[in-house]
Chain A
Amino acid sequence: MLQFLIRRLTGAVMIMFLIGAFTFFLFYTVPQDFAALSCGKNCTPENIAVIRENLGLDKPITTQFWEFMVGIVAGRDFAAGSCPAPCLGQSFASGEFVWDSIMDRFPLTLSLTIGGLVIFLFLGLASGLLAAWKRGTAVDKTVSGASMVLSSFQIYFLGPIVLGLLVYQTGWMENPKYHEFTEDPLAWAVGLLIPWAVMATIFVAQYTRMSRSTMIEQLQEEHVRTARAKGMGRKYVFFRYAWRGSLTPIVTIIGMDLSSLLAGGVVTEFTFDLAGIGRLAVESSVTKDLPLTMGVMMFGAFFILILNIIVDLCYAYIDPRVRLA
């Protein structure tokens, strides 16, 4: 277990390093003076020189990259003050530390993705199970058909429709708004209910189909048939035997989907005009704020990698044959 964690974390660190390096050097191929960008109006050459020195842009690229990487582990000092350990540098545009800007925005994205994930997993697996249980009946066909139709909607199309119905027309709900979970859990949940529901609608179909087809496969396994033949109840066999077996492929798909989960979170953010990581990425890329863009990219990758490790840990829990060593 510990060995597994260490190995996976080392791999994650390597990937993060590579993503950082890739982003960094790609940025520097752009013929652009970042110092001039952060200088604003009324810029004199002397000002630019001072800024360049403050941002460390006068040093060679490799040195800058090295300082950036060391900063993540050990923190570093800027003219504006010292930046504590996971230091992703200082924004060119606002002068804020990148880590702080990300931490400002991240709770929203995290709430969106995790909340959406919980809802669509629950609904998707439940409706898939229902369809498999009632295989071949009208219920099965309705569930399968509806999931196909729903999955062809887009978040940015469905979102405004739902808003229009529930907020503008009837006034049953407020416009989606983010509240800190720690301050007011109820307001947090109510404020994000519409985004969660819309996001879940898009994703739920895939899981319905997945869980239905793996369940049908599992129900044809020999141990399931044997269990039925020796007189165990249908319900018991369905949940204790077949469902257990179908969890592994489902978890695999979840692991592969994490990147699109984050993507879904980003789209949802834009649709409902919430300020999360995605908007931060757009802001940073439009102003060509290198440290901020890099920070967001690396943080996004980190998020996906960590969730992936958690998913792999779940494997061992679900399927005792999987060893983590």
Chain B
Amino acid sequence: MTSPVEAEDAQASTALDEETESKADGKETKGHTGRSPGQLMWARFKRDRTGVVCAWVVIAYFAIALLAPVISWLYGKDPYTLYALEPDYPFLLDDFEMPAGDLGGMSGEFWFGVEPVIGRDVFTMLLYGMRTSLFMAFIITFLSVATGVLIGMVSGFFGGKVDYWLGRTTDFFLAFPSQLFFIAFMPIVIALFVDPADETPTYLRAVAMVLVTWFLGWMGMARLVRSSVLSLREREFVEAAKVSGASRWRIVRKEILPNIVTPILVQGTYMLPSAILSIAFLSFVGVGFVEPTPDWGRMFAIGAQNYEQNPTYMFFPGIALFVFVLAFNLLGDSVRDAFDPKTGR
């Protein structure tokens, strides 16, 4: 890999070139006095205690989401059964259909209490809801990042007319009122796939939500990548590669892409929580997931309906989401600081 950093003095130029390297490259340079930017970044990140804690929190969320079926199997409940109707649990809900007992019916049997009115288990709903949210957000972020990088690279690298028109398209999509668009287009996109008279399968709803949020999710990334590529394109090492006869594709892949990984990564870290929030918003207003799919947005909607009588319910998805967003934002800041110590706060 031709890298401007290794060619120059590694220590001095890391701050200028936001450069990431794979671990393999790091090993190659072992024995030299300099460390690869990847190693430097890792060393800086490890020193940042907040960042490390947040990284563990985020990893824990992903692990829990992945292991949700295992956990609920061990715990012995699932998010779909209406436990209030089961003969084993006769007094789960009181006469007003609210959970019997204090704190939303929390007990050794139902750790996080039971859902008002129909009596599902809150703990497993939360676990599976986390699964839904993270899975959806992951796909949306991945697609948006890929699209944004592609469009940004093309318009930055080719410039001229291509750049102009892609720029105008980006501006056009930025003018869309995004939340209104999400609401308005969910039924349309669903109707594209399935006859409105039939019942919509859950996976189609998920696909529609991905499509709608992806559609208006890539513009920020495209702008960021475009401006980074524009400034990199004129740098000496790219010229050197051109002179030495590298193909365009090689320049993009080997010279430009490694140098914009950092901003992409940092921006991507901020995009994931906002994707989670978009999905939750759609379900919250009632155009996203519907019964009986467990989802955080739906839990917020249920919680808001019964908040006056049963406030406890709302706190589980609320605090779970709060901790996740906080951890992810702090992690994003730490990653950015580790990559680029110049932007100190």
Contacts and interface: CB of A to CB of B under 8 A. Distances in A.
A278 B178 CA distance: 11
Interface in B188-241: 188, 191-192, 195-196
Interface in A242-290: 259-260, 262-263, 266-267, 270-271, 277-278, 281-282, 284-286, 288
B293 to A, nearest CB: 18
A296 B180 contact: yes
B311 interface: yes
Given A29-B192, A148-B330, A151-B329, A304 B321 contact: no
Contacts, number: 129
Interface in B307-333: 307-308, 311, 314, 317-318, 321-322, 325-326, 329-330
B304 interface: yes
A164 B307 contact: yes
Interface in A9-30: 15, 18-19, 23, 26-27, 29-30
Contact of B191 (A23, A30, A213): A30
B223 to A, nearest CB: 10
A286 to B, nearest CB: 6
A156 B318 CA distance: 9
Interface band, chain A:
35 or more
Q: Which of B174, B175, B307, B322 has the most CB of A within 10 A?
A: B175
A309 to B, nearest CB: 12
Contact of B187 (A152, A263, A285): A285
Interface in B251-300: 277, 280-281, 284-287, 300
A297 B180 contact: yes
Contact of B318 (A23, A31, A157, A163): A157
A303 B176 CA distance: 10
B321 A154 contact: yes
Contacts of B184: 23, 281, 284-285, 293, 296-297
Given A149-B326, A151-B329, A297 B321 contact: no
Given A160-B314, A263-B178, A304-B175, A285 B304 contact: no
Contacts of B191: 30-32, 288
Given A148-B330, A152-B326, A282-B286, A163 B307 contact: yes
Contact of B304 (A160, A286, A304): A160
B183 interface: yes
A197 interface: no
A305 B284 CA distance: 27
A286 B187 contact: yes
Nearest to B320: A157
B178 A259 contact: yes
A156 B177 contact: no
A114 to B, nearest CB: 16
Nearest to A267: B281
A152 B329 contact: yes
Interface string A96-112: 00000000000000000
Contacts of B321: 154, 157
B185 A285 contact: yes
B179 interface: yes
Contacts of A239: none
A159 B172 CA distance: 33
A27 B184 CA distance: 10
B267 to A, nearest CB: 14
B338 interface: no
Contacts of B303: 160
Nearest to A216: B345
Contacts of A139: none
Contact of A156 (B172, B192, B284, B311): B284
B186 interface: yes
Nearest to A18: B172
Nearest to A37: B196
Nearest to A283: B183
B185 A301 contact: no
B172 A262 contact: no
B80 interface: no
Nearest to B314: A160
A199 B286 CA distance: 20
A86 interface: no
A156 B185 contact: no
B177 A301 contact: yes
Contacts of A288: 187-188, 191, 196
A153 B284 CA distance: 15
B187 A148 contact: no
A263 to B, nearest CB: 4
A157 B281 contact: no
A148 B181 CA distance: 28
Q: Which of A153, A160, A304 has the most CB of B within 10 A?
A: A160
A297 B177 contact: yes
Contact of A154 (B192, B318, B330): B318
B289 to A, nearest CB: 15
Contacts of A267: 179, 281, 284
Given A157-B318, A281-B184, A305 B329 contact: no
Contacts of B192: 29-30
A174 to B, nearest CB: 14
Contacts of A293: 184
A202 to B, nearest CB: 10
A286 B200 CA distance: 14
A4 interface: no
Given A156-B300, A160-B304, A168-B308, A300 B185 contact: no
22 contacts: A18-B172, A19-B172, A23-B184, A26-B188, A31-B191, A32-B191, A152-B322, A154-B280, A154-B322, A157-B318, A160-B304, A168-B308, A263-B177, A267-B284, A271-B304, A278-B180, A278-B183, A281-B184, A285-B184, A288-B187, A301-B176, A304-B177
Given A19-B175, A286-B187, 15 more contacts: A15-B175, A23-B184, A26-B185, A27-B188, A30-B191, A31-B191, A144-B345, A152-B326, A157-B300, A164-B308, A281-B180, A282-B286, A286-B287, A288-B187, A293-B184
A-B pairs with lowest CB-CB distance, top 7? A300-B177, A157-B318, A263-B179, A152-B326, A160-B307, A152-B325, A300-B180
